């Protein structure tokens, strides 16, 4: 069974890269800090960042993924300043979908990045900033900076611990702002950007408020869309499993499918089915793309490429366990979608469905 499952994964992955996590669509600014010289043009939109205050490149401090050969060393007074451009001025409309992501290794300091008018100016707009406070970290937007006595929205619990590489992301779908640390959702809240301003975007500080970020940074990205969970996890180097729902109940309720393991080449992984009808035929569908196809009164998520399911039988407890070693040669960021269909007389059309799970290779 283990060899058969691994071979099936390879066969599905061989159909092409359409099932790879897409980190390029909607990318409007991206600094990988590989060039080694200032000023730095971003890789997506050509926006120019100018280093100052001792900010420089380092080859000795690199994040665990997307690190390349260099990162940015940002001392307390250091920063990268980006002048707004005609195509993207680093402002967002109140309900404009967006995402920002980056790696940080914080040594000290408060203000990580931001786009704000002069600190303390009457009625100044703090369009957005990430500030790591003493007990938490907040991505916020507010009017009447610096005390935010006007309109104020934020998402907190985004602390960057001292001395450790940490992946940060915020995603906004036009309604909810979500904050992510190391690929995990830590907070979400209703949100709306206050009006933008003409200030430059500053990385390593926030306007003129002082107490800048002190540490290392890499792989700074802006998107004009809300990244999906699997995309945030991919940027954070989390090649693992996500529950995508869509179970259809049977005799024991909703069958439960769980994936475990990191999905790197040669690693030990597994998928376990439970709460299914006992001693019943179960078909495991596998694909590298997910959608929502009607199936037996429910929804089947693994849809492309469509190949015959792997036919198994549940045991007396309604369970199936498949351990497997991840094959070599599957491209990074490949999506693997799995979902069971189980013969079950108690289900609406004689077939129960497990939840779908999505695995992403690192």
Q: Residue 234 falls within a domain, yes or no?
A: no
Distance CA 14, CA 17 (A): 8
DSSP-based three-state secondary structure for 268: strand
Which residue shows structure tokens 């009607």? 294
- CA 300 to centroid of chain Cα atoms: 24
The predicted structure's pLDDT at residue 269: 85
Q: Are residues 125 and 266 in the same domain?
A: no
Instruction: Please check whether residues 146 and 33 belong to one and the same domain.
Output: yes
61 in the same domain as 199:
yes
Please list, in sequence order, all residues whose beta carbon lies within 8 angstroms of the beta carbon of residue 279, skipping any fewer than 6 positions away.
Answer: 313, 314, 315, 316
State whether 139 and 205 are in the same domain.
Answer: yes
Give backbone dihedrals phi and psi of 8, rounded to 5 degrees, phi first: -65, -40
User: Is residue 55 within 8 Å of 80, Cβ to Cβ?
Assistant: yes
Q: Is the bond preceding residue 146 a cis peptide, omega within 30 degrees? A: yes
* Assigned domain for 231 exists: no
Give the end of a domain, one of 172, 198, 224.
224
Strand partners, 172: 98, 177
Please report the DSSP string for 151-173 in residue order. SEEEE------BTSEEEEEEEE-
Query: Is residue 287 within 8 Å of 337, Cβ to Cβ?
Result: yes
For the chain, the first-to-last Cα distance in angstroms comes to 24
Cα(184)–Cα(228) distance, rounded to whole angstroms? 12
Domain with 179 in it: what CATH number? 2.60.120.200
Among 224, 256, 273, residue at a domain's last position: 224
pLDDT in tens, 160-204: 889 999 999 999 999 999 999 999 999 999 999 998 888 899 998
Asked if 147 and 198 sit in the same domain, the reply is yes
Q: Do 72 and 170 have their domain in common?
A: yes
Judge residue 119's burial from the number of C-beta atoms within 10 Å of its C-beta, 0-12 exposed, 13-18 middle, 19 or more buried: middle
pLDDT of residue 117: 62
- Same-domain status, 161 and 274: no
CA 4 to chain centroid, in Å, comes to 31
| Rounded (5°) CA angle 330-332-335 | 80
Give the domain CATH number at 246: 2.20.130.20
For residue 233, being part of any structural domain is answered with no
Each residue's pLDDT expressed in tens, for the chain with a length of 362 residues: 555 566 656 655 554 444 567 788 999 999 999 877 788 989 998 899 999 999 999 999 999 888 788 999 999 889 999 988 888 999 999 999 999 999 999 998 888 999 876 666 666 678 898 988 656 789 988 876 666 777 888 888 888 889 999 999 999 999 999 999 999 999 999 999 998 888 899 998 876 666 789 999 999 999 999 999 889 988 988 767 888 999 999 999 999 999 888 888 888 888 999 999 999 999 999 988 888 899 999 999 998 765 668 899 999 999 999 888 888 888 888 888 999 999 999 999 999 999 999 988 87
- Judge whether 143 lies within some domain: yes
Pick from 47, 36, 64, 35: which is nearest to 222 by CA?
A: 47
Does residue 262 lie within any of the structural domains?
Answer: yes
Same domain, 165 and 183: yes
| Judgement on whether residues 82 and 192 belong to the same structural domain of the protein | yes
Segment holding 226, helix H or strand E: none
Q: Which domain holds residue 41?
A: 27-224
- Where does a domain end: 224, 253, 284? 224
Q: Is residue 74 part of a domain?
A: yes
Chain centroid to Cα 1, Å, comes to: 32
- Judge whether 232 lies within some domain: no
| Total structural domains within the chain | 2
Q: What digits encode the pLDDT tens for the residues 288-328?
A: 888 889 999 999 999 876 566 889 999 999 999 988 888 88
Quick one: 291 and 317 in the same domain? yes
pTM of the model: 0.79
Q: Is residue 129, in this structure, part of any structural domain at all?
A: yes
- State whether 11 and 129 are in the same domain: no
Both 65 and 197 in a single domain? yes
């Amino acid at each position: 069974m283990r060899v058969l499952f691994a071979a099936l994964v390879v066969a599905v992955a061989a159909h092409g890269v359409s099932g790879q996590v897409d980190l390029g669509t909607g990318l409007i600014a991206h600094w990988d800090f590989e060039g080694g010289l200032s000023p730095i043009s971003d890789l997506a939109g050509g926006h120019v960042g100018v280093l100052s205050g001792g900010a420089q490149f380092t080859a000795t401090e690199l994040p665990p993924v997307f690190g390349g050969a260099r990162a940015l060393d940002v001392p307390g007074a250091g920063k990268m300043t980006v002048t707004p451009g005609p195509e993207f001025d680093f402002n967002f409309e109140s309900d404009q979908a967006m995402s920002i992501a980056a790696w940080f290794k914080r040594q000290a300091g408060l203000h990580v990045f931001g786009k704000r008018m002069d600190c303390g100016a009457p009625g100044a707009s703090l369009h957005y900033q990430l500030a790591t406070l003493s007990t938490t970290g907040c991505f916020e937007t507010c009017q009447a900076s610096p005390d935010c006595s006007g309109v104020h929205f934020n998402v907190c619990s985004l602390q960057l611990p001292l001395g450790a590489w940490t992946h940060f992301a915020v995603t906004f779908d036009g309604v909810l702002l979500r904050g992510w640390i190391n690929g995990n959702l830590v907070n979400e809240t209703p949100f709306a950007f206050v009006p933008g301003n003409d200030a430059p975007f500053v990385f390593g500080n926030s306007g003129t408020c002082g107490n800048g970020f002190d540490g290392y940074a890499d792989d700074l990205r802006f998107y004009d869309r809300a990244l999906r969970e699997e995309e945030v996890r991919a940027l954070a180097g989390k090649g693992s499993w996500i529950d995508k729902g869509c179970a259809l109940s049977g005799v024991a309720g909703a069958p439960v499918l769980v994936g475990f393991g990191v999905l790197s080449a040669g690693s030990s992984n597994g998928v376990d089915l439970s709460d299914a009808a006992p001693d019943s035929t179960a078909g495991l569908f596998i694909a590298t793309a997910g959608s929502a196809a009607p199936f037996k009164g429910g929804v089947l998520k693994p849809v492309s490429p469509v190949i015959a399911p792997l036919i198994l039988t549940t045991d007396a407890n309604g369970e199936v366990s498949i351990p497997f070693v991840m094959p070599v040669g599957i491209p990074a960021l490949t999506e693997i979608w799995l979902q069971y269909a189980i013969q079950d007389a108690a289900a609406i059309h004689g077939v129960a469905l497990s939840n779908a799970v999505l695995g992403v290779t690192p």
